[in-house]
Copies of this chain bind each other. A is one copy, B any other.
Amino acid sequence: MGRQRRVTLADVAARAGVSSSTASLAYSGAGPVAEPTRQRVLAAAAELGYAGPDPLARSLRQGRTGVVGVVIGERLLDAFRDPVSVALLDGISAELTPLGSALLLLPGDTRAAGQPPERVALYPLDAMVFAGCDDEHPLIAHVLARRVPAVAVEGPRRPELPIVDIDHLGGSRQAAEHLLQLGHREIAVVSLPLTADTRRGPVDPARRAACTFALCRDRLRAVEEVLGPTVRIVETASNLVEEGELAGAELFESSPRPTAVIAQADLLAIGVIRAAAKAGLRVPEDLSVVGFDGIDSSGWLGSEQLTTVEQPMYEKGHVAGRMVAELVAGRRPADVTLPVTFRVGATTAPPAA
Contact = CB atoms under 8 A, between A and B. Distances in A.
B145 A51 contact: yes
A256 interface: no
Interface stretch (A100-108, A168-176, A183-191, A257-265): A100-108
Interface stretch (A52-60, A151-159, A212-220): A52-60
A241 interface: yes
Interface stretch (A110-118, A198-206, A286-294, A343-351): A110-118
Contact of A60 (B60, B100, B105, B125): B60
A97 interface: yes
A312 interface: no
A324 interface: no
A288 to B, nearest CB: 22
Interface residues of A, number: 50
B100 A115 contact: yes
Interface string A298-311: 01100000000000
A55 B122 contact: yes
Contact of A90 (B80, B89, B106, B120): B80
A141 to B, nearest CB: 9
A124 B81 contact: no
A55 B104 CA distance: 15
Contact of A299 (B63, B98, B241): B241
Interface in A56-77: 56-60, 63, 65-67, 69, 76-77
Contacts of A118: 52
A314 B286 CA distance: 40
B106 A105 contact: no
Contact of A67 (B6, B77, B104): B104
A142 interface: yes
Greatest chain B CB density within 10 A among A57, A60, A98 is at A60
A142 to B, nearest CB: 7
B103 A105 contact: yes
Contacts of A59: 56, 124
Contact of A105 (B51, B93, B98, B114): B93
Contacts of A63: 56
Contacts of A124: 55-56, 59, 65, 67, 124
A123 B65 contact: yes
Nearest to A85: B80
Given A60-B56, A124-B59, A90 B104 contact: no
A47 to B, nearest CB: 13
B56 A56 contact: yes
Contact of A65 (B6, B56, B86): B56
A145 B122 CA distance: 27
29 contacts: A49-B145, A51-B142, A51-B145, A55-B123, A55-B124, A55-B125, A56-B56, A57-B60, A65-B123, A66-B123, A67-B67, A67-B104, A67-B124, A76-B93, A77-B86, A80-B86, A80-B89, A93-B107, A98-B113, A100-B120, A100-B122, A102-B104, A102-B120, A102-B123, A103-B105, A104-B104, A105-B105, A124-B124, A299-B299
Given A67-B123, A97-B113, 7 more contacts: A6-B147, A51-B146, A67-B104, A69-B102, A93-B105, A98-B114, A299-B300
